[in-house]
Structure 1
Amino acid sequence: MKVAFIYQAKEPPVINGIKKPMKPGGYSDGCADMAYCLKNGGVDVITPVDDPDVYKDTDWCFPDTHEGIQLAIDKGADTLWINTVLYKGHPIDDFSGIYVVGHRTKDVEMYDDKFSTNTLLLQNELPAVTDYLVTADTVYNGEYPCVLKPIRGRGSQGVVKCDTPEEFIKARDEAFASGRYGDTMMAEEYLGGTEVTLTVFPDGTSLPFIERFDQKNGIAPYNGDVPVVKNSRVIEDTPQLTALRKSCELAVWLLGLKAVVRIDCRADKNGNFKMFDFNPKPNLTGASRPHRQDLNSLTLMAAEAAEMDYFGLLTKMLETRYLLD
């Protein structure tokens, strides 16, 4: 197996008026972390340069353009780890006869829409939060506090807890004035109880739960501002969490996904857990390089609790590869 990592090189297209903001660097940091770890573990990793600099992310991965993907293949890669934001018509759709680690483009376009996904989960009697579409003149008439958030968001960026209608209108107006998220957002009930996240593999198995704490104004801060190792910890299953685990695993099976997802859940005021963020593009950074020692991802924290190191997690994920046809 010869593996090449693919990162996001440009903004994804607007889909039905909805924008997904691009992460600076396009996940090249996580690509480099993974590539460095696998290479040190003896996996044949294909890189754009012959002697990649441990401190230079893009020495370890290829851009997700047609030319970038073709270059990875030309240099010998038979497996592409697609660590980027996907959508129907993405350049990876131009290729066949090569193995990939990652979701199908059609699945990401569908399930990265948090409103549609949560609605689908509810329709299948799974515990998910109820969402409402928000446009520039929408007034949320549900119970407060509520949460205003992007439909195709990234982490907690753009997510705002609103305690009053006045706060909602202010947050709504600022979000639409920024133009960052498109012409529609979503609102949902605020879940103020214990917050956990679960990584689920496409075979329906999952890692230990991670609890999030030290939320800022009720929302877990973006990991680019506060490393998750500072506000997250492993939590043992309780009967309630075991039931939630089964629901999350069932959700992944129901959607027929091809790659790892991370599902964020939180308890409501009555203590009932609900899924609120189904994330087909979980962060996979890890402390493999010397300058990245506090940047383990939530998924890696969970893997380590299952006695799996970074290399073990990545090789398990490599086993999920499938052939593009």
Structure 2
Amino acid sequence: MVTLDGEYRIAVLHQAAPTPAIGGVLKPVKPGGYKDSSADLAYALHLESQDACTPSIKLITPSSSPDPSKDADWSFGDYKETILEVIEKHGANVLWANTNVHSAHALLDIAKQHPDILMVGQDPRHVDNYDDKAWVNRWLQSHAGLEGTFPQTWIVPRDTPEVLASIPLPVIIKPVRGRGSQGVAYCRTSNELEQRAKKLWETGSRVVIEEFCSGEEVTITVLPPGTYDPPVGVKDKHWALPVVRRFDHTDGIMPYSGGVPVTANSTLVPLEEASVDPEYARLQKRCELVGQALGTLATIRIDARRRGQTASGMDREFALFDTNMKPNITGPGRPGRDDQAALTVLAAGGLGWSYRDLVRNMLRQAVKLRCLL
């Protein structure tokens, strides 16, 4: 964590610049480029700046009088020219990268010119690999404590479709580089699997197929080392927030949060329930090991499902299946946004943190851009 002697002059960045194809696969862009969540967190920062307890925060916005109901008034597109203008003309010294970064992202060039600017976000140099669902799960399983913690997985290239016939059903099929539940499907039959694979092969040369874990689904948020508000304090390693349970799946898959708010199908696992089932604590520990292995600089979210039940009806262990380098960070505060608490916001509520508390604590873990050089 890096602190400033003076004022935090913060500019929030949303996704506007085109994302390059990697290995022939283009990651889908969220409609609006995260302008909605960027406006949510920028508005929370604005409220912090108005609070007499946090006078050291100033928010820089595209509009001189941003309207809480207008997403576009609160954040800047992540073009190099735009970022330089925000720094050199408007005096920003903190960039909140609420966007999908990659190895050609503008922040890497900005770091060369302004290495002492602070950033909240991930290291763009590593995200290309970490966003590759085929690569990252295999790589993570090579780390101590994570062996065997992911579902059995098959990577099927477009030019070997015959491999599909040998894969035991049911399975989950997904794109190599996905976003949320987009392109993810539960396949019970060989025909379903073949049709889904053909559709995904139109946008990439490979597909990821995983064994279907039929049990409880949860999500874990992992934060980087640093100093946090009570009741957390100082953390010298990556650490996990309380567990959030997912429910009301549609055909085996969680629906897209843009269609169904996560507040309608997700809830904290009660602490008394988590305390009597050691699998929750084991899962949190494994997710912390994921954060340490990846060396993440900001918040990540990891999804997991139980492998089903034993013959006696006991819940089996959790399998980790998806690491989200850019977790959604929508939150309440602006008009009409009361039901837009993201999974990470729900998890933070387990510590007694509000959305503003979470945003403030994420800001405190900002790093200097020189760490990207």
TM range (shorter): over 0.9
Displacement of 1:205:
1.4
Q: Give the partner amino acid of 1:64.
A: D
Question: SS in structure 2 opposite 1:133?
Answer: strand
- Aligned pairs (5 A) from 1:84-233: 84-96=99-111, 97=115, 98-124=117-143, 125-126=145-146, 127-136=149-158, 137-138=160-161, 139-140=163-164, 141-177=166-202, 179=203, 182-203=204-225, 204-233=238-267
- Aligned pairs (5 A) from 1:4-153: 4-42=11-49, 43-73=57-87, 74-96=89-111, 97=115, 98-124=117-143, 125-126=145-146, 127-136=149-158, 137-138=160-161, 139-140=163-164, 141-153=166-178
Output the CA distance in 2 between the equivalents of 1:131 and 1:106: 26
Corresponding position of 1:254: 293
Question: SS in structure 2 opposite 1:169?
Answer: helix
Output the CA distance in 1 between the equivalents of 2:137 and 2:329: 23
Corresponding position of 1:295: 340
Question: SS in structure 1 opposite 2:214?
Answer: coil
Q: Give the partner amino acid of 1:159.
A: V
Output the CA distance in 2 between the equivalents of 1:158 and 1:146: 14
Q: Give the partner amino acid of 2:83.
A: I
Summarize deviations over 1:191-235 as a string: whole Å, max 9, x none. 110000000001211111000001011011110111100000101
Output the CA distance in 1 between the equivalents of 2:353 and 2:86: 29
Contact 2:240 2:285 in 1 (8 A): no
TM-score of the two chains, using structure 1 as the length reference:
0.96
Displacement of 1:70:
1.2
Output the CA distance in 2 between the equivalents of 1:69 and 1:58: 16
Aligned residues: 322
Question: SS in structure 2 opposite 1:275?
Answer: strand
Displacement of 1:120:
1.1
**Greater mean deviation of Cα atoms: 256-265 or 40-49:** 40-49
Output the CA distance in 2 between the equivalents of 1:300 and 1:269: 27
Summarize deviations over 1:82-133 as a string: whole Å, max 9, x none. 0111111111111122110000101211211111111012122511223221
Displacement of 1:147:
0.7
Q: Give the partner amino acid of 2:96.
A: W
Gaps of 5+ in 1: none
Say which one has the larger Rg. 2
Question: SS in structure 2 opposite 1:70?
Answer: helix
Question: SS in structure 1 opposite 2:167?
Answer: coil
Corresponding position of 1:244: 283
Summarize deviations over 1:260-318 as a string: whole Å, max 9, x none. 10000001135121110000100000011012121110000111121000111011101
Output the CA distance in 1 between the equivalents of 2:130 and 2:36: 24
Output the CA distance in 2 between the equivalents of 1:100 and 1:66: 15
Contact 1:30 1:284 in 2 (8 A): yes
**RMSD of the TM alignment (CA)?**
1.2
Identity over the aligned pairs, expressed in percent?
40
Contact 1:259 1:320 in 2 (8 A): yes
Output the CA distance in 2 between the equivalents of 1:37 and 1:269: 40
TM-score of the two chains, using structure 2 as the length reference:
0.84
Asked if 1:273 is matched to 2:318, the reply is yes
Question: SS in structure 1 opposite 2:240?
Answer: coil
Contact 1:3 1:78 in 2 (8 A): yes
